[in-house]
């Protein structure tokens, strides 16, 4: 495992963000938006070559394409067509940047009044699979390793989807803060950590729960979380997704503080950089 960061969380375009992030001691970045003023999937071939050059010149690599692929709830045909086009852009970016890991969603973003859950309602899972199957097939053909984030969905819903897809390497992008307050964790924290990490290929760390300047969030013991990630063999990035909720300071400053918090919590004797 290694430390990375969503470049757009600094609220700077990549030309400014990448050298700054490198100065913080990181050798890996994740892309989503604010990439030459565009989303990562919208870059043309020339822009992708320029981005790869920028990454290389700063001695860095790309950990994950943190895309919004299929972040919609049971969409209509027009939205499905748009997402299929987005996927083609993602595959081009993955090829150009030598990065196969891609955050994805699955056309399941239920509102608060949705009583069904994918792991308890087979008919809902079937509806999702009918829509998502073409995306999954194309992503697998393109050699992508998908990482499904628990944003708007429960981990057990992701696990149910992954069990049906059954693609080696595809797992969860575990956003720790999104699950930390759950009853399962309160009942048995060690068992909870083990269950989440064993099915994760990427971990997201938000400022909420990690930084003391956000006291409304329950502190998360990231030293323990990251130690378990190491012990259980997490191979993907631990990515700072600052999410400067409520504007607790300049985005660059809060992002730097978050990176330093991750670095301080990093397991002893484990290299923080991807290249190491």
List 6's β-bridge partners, or say none. Answer: 30
Residue 47 lies in a domain: yes
Give 38's DSSP letter: B
Residue 125 lies in a domain: yes
Amino acid 215: pLDDT: 61
pLDDT computed for residue 161 by the predictor: 98
Q: Is 102 contained in some domain?
A: yes
**Does residue 257 sit within a domain?**
yes
Establish if 276 belongs to a structural domain. no
Q: What is the pLDDT of residue 270?
A: 95
pLDDT in tens, 149-185: 999 999 999 999 999 999 999 999 999 999 999 999 9
pLDDT > 80? residue 217: no
Least confident segment among 87-96, 118-127, 212-221: 212-221
**What is the domain extent for residue 239?**
2-265
| Beta strand 28-31 pairing with 61-69 | parallel
* Residue 222 in domain: yes
* Pairing, β 171-175 against β 101-104: unpaired
Q: What is the pLDDT of residues 9-18, one digit of tens each?
A: 999 999 999 9
- Identify the helix (H) or strand (E) that includes residue 172: strand 171-175
In the chain, % of residues over pLDDT 70: 98
* Domains identified in the chain, total number: 1
Q: Does 272 map to a domain?
A: no
- Contact status, residue 241 vs residue 209, Cβ threshold 8 Å: no
pLDDT digits (tens, 9 = 90+) for 125-150: 999 999 999 999 999 999 999 999 99
In a domain, 274, yes or no: no
CATH of the domain at 33: 3.20.20.150
């Amino acid at each position: 495992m290694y430390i990375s960061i969503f470049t757009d969380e600094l609220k700077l375009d990549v030309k400014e963000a990448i050298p700054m992030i490198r100065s913080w001691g990181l050798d890996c970045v994740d892309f989503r938006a604010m990439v030459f003023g565009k989303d990562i999937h919208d870059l043309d071939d020339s822009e992708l070559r320029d981005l790869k050059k920028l990454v290389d010149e700063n001695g860095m690599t790309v950990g994950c394409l943190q895309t919004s692929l299929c972040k919609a709830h049971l969409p209509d045909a027009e939205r499905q067509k748009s997402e299929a086009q987005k996927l083609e852009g993602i595959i081009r970016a993955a090829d150009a940047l030598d990065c196969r890991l891609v955050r994805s969603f699955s056309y399941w973003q239920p509102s608060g009044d949705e009583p069904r859950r994918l792991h308890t309602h087979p008919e809902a899972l079937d509806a999702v699979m009918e829509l998502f199957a073409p995306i999954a097939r194309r992503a697998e053909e393109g050699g992508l390793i998908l990482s499904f984030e628990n944003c708007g969905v429960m981990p057990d819903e992701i696990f149910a989807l992954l069990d049906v897809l059954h693609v080696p390497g595809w797992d969860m992008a575990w956003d720790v803060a999104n699950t930390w307050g759950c009853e399962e964790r309160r009942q048995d924290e060690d068992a909870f950590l083990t269950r989440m990490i064993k099915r994760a290929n990427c971990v997201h760390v938000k400022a909420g729960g990690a930084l003391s300047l956000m006291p409304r969030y329950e502190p998360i013991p990231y030293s323990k979380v990251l130690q378990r990630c190491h012990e259980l063999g997490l191979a993907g990035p631990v990515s700072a997704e600052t999410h400067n909720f409520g504007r607790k300071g300049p985005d660059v400053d809060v992002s730097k503080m978050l990176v330093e918090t991750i670095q301080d919590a990093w397991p002893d004797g484990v290299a923080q950089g991807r290249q190491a």
